[in-house]
């Protein structure tokens, strides 16, 4: 008999760098021109890596979240009804009164996420991730995997690229980029393309939502990818490195709304079942508008930090001192 080792290779080593477990931050080494101070190693960050804000989080720093919050609350309430109210029973059994406020917050967030998942709140995101995985696999191997509807969408995307005289740039799928905004921000661009007519190159992002409520955050996100000075090359460990980003120069079509203006492209591939999945469309987003949104978002992050600060000389909202009688005496 042969051992299992004869059939299976050893598992690859886990990457040292990547997205934090909560998905809210990137942990990568600092690029060469960063002047900040890296954090000290800790139990949750044993390598002492900087924690970079996500590009999408920065872009949404001042967006209108009202509709999203209403939707999340609805999913939470429906999740409490799911499975014969099992999550509600578990919540009622918790001794929440005995917990500290911080422990109550953590527990509340955990149950809220459980309830939303039970109501299917993450289904759209998972379908979107599947389409990103399909696109990445195609760009790396040339093979299309997925369900029948997913493959039809991929065929429609390839047709749209050809109709627009666009070709994917090799080795430019799922690339990590770093931008200096807000002290350091990272994101992952989906792909890059070259226009066969002009030779111009630009970024393209896959979007899977059913419809666009606003292009504000999207434009800021694309500007961050486009203007990022650094891109990660190689594996997510010490064998990788930061390298200068490409000089993107794609402009709007002469017969479109943004002739001569710098643009990024969106491939709109809705993930929800139904007839609106096809055809996949290519959308232009003006990057000068995205730059304005990004600058405003970064300023908003700074103002929020000041608003929450308790440091003397930086904080706002300090008790007015009572003047002494001498201090109120009129000048002669």
Q: What is the pLDDT of residues 186-200, one digit of tens each?
A: 999 999 999 999 999
Considering the domain architecture, whether residues 165 and 109 belong to the same structural domain is answered as no
Considering the domain architecture, whether residues 292 and 178 belong to the same structural domain is answered as yes
Considering the domain architecture, whether residues 153 and 268 belong to the same structural domain is answered as yes
Considering the domain architecture, whether residues 163 and 100 belong to the same structural domain is answered as no
Considering the domain architecture, whether residues 228 and 96 belong to the same structural domain is answered as no
For residue 196, is it within any domain?
yes
Cis before 181 (ω within 30):
no
Considering the domain architecture, whether residues 155 and 296 belong to the same structural domain is answered as yes
For residue 190, is it within any domain?
yes
Whole-structure pTM value: 0.79
Considering the domain architecture, whether residues 108 and 192 belong to the same structural domain is answered as no
Considering the domain architecture, whether residues 114 and 181 belong to the same structural domain is answered as no
At 2, the pLDDT band (50, 70, 90 cuts) reads low
pLDDT (tens digit, 9 = 90+) per residue, 235-268? 999 999 999 999 999 999 999 999 999 999 999 9
For residue 6, is it within any domain?
no
CB 285, CB 266: distance < 8 Å:
yes
Q: How many domains does the chain have?
A: 2
CB-based burial, 211-245: b 16+ in 10 Å, e otherwise: eeeebbbbbbbbbbbbbbebbbeeebeeebebeeb
Task: List, in sequence order, the alpha helices (H) in the chain.
Answer: 55-59, 66-93, 101-118, 123-141, 148-163, 216-227, 287-308, 325-328
**Cα four-point dihedral sign 125, 127, 133, 136:** negative
Note down the domain range covering 249. Answer: 147-304
Considering the domain architecture, whether residues 152 and 298 belong to the same structural domain is answered as yes
For residue 315, is it within any domain?
no
For residue 324, is it within any domain?
no
């Amino acid at each position: 008999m042969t051992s299992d080792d004869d059939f299976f290779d050893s598992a690859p080593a886990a990457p040292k760098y990547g997205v934090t477990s909560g998905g809210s931050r990137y942990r990568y080494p600092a690029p060469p021109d960063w002047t900040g101070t890296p954090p000290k190693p800790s139990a949750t960050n044993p390598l002492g890596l900087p924690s970079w804000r996500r590009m999408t989080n920065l872009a949404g720093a001042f967006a209108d979240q009202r509709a999203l919050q209403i939707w999340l609350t609805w999913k939470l309430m429906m999740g409490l009804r799911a499975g014969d109210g099992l999550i509600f029973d578990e919540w009622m059994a918790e001794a929440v009164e005995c917990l500290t406020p911080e422990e109550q917050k953590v527990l509340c967030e955990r149950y809220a996420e459980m309830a939303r998942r039970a109501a299917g709140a993450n289904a759209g995101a998972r379908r979107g991730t599947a389409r990103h995985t399909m696109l990445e696999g195609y760009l790396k191997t040339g093979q299309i995997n997925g369900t029948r509807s997913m493959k039809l969408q991929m065929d429609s995307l390839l047709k749209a690229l050809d109709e627009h005289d666009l070709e994917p740039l090799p080795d430019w799928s799922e690339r990590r980029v770093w931008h200096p905004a807000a002290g350091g921000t990272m994101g992952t661009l989906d792909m890059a393309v070259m226009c066969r007519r002009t030779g111009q190159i630009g970024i393209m992002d896959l979007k899977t939502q059913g419809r666009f409520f606003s292009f504000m955050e999207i434009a800021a996100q694309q500007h961050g990818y486009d203007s990022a000075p650094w891109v990660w090359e190689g594996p997510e460990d010490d064998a990788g490195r930061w390298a200068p980003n490409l000089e993107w120069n794609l402009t709007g079509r002469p017969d479109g709304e943004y002739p001569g203006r710098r643009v990024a492209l969106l491939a709109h591939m809705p993930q929800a079942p139904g007839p609106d999945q096809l055809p996949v469309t290519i959308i232009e987003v003006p990057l000068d508008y995205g730059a304005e949104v990004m600058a405003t978002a970064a300023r908003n992050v700074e103002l929020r930090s000041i608003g929450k600060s308790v440091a003397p000389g930086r904080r706002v909202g300090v008790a007015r001192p009572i003047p002494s009688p001498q201090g109120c005496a009129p000048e002669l």
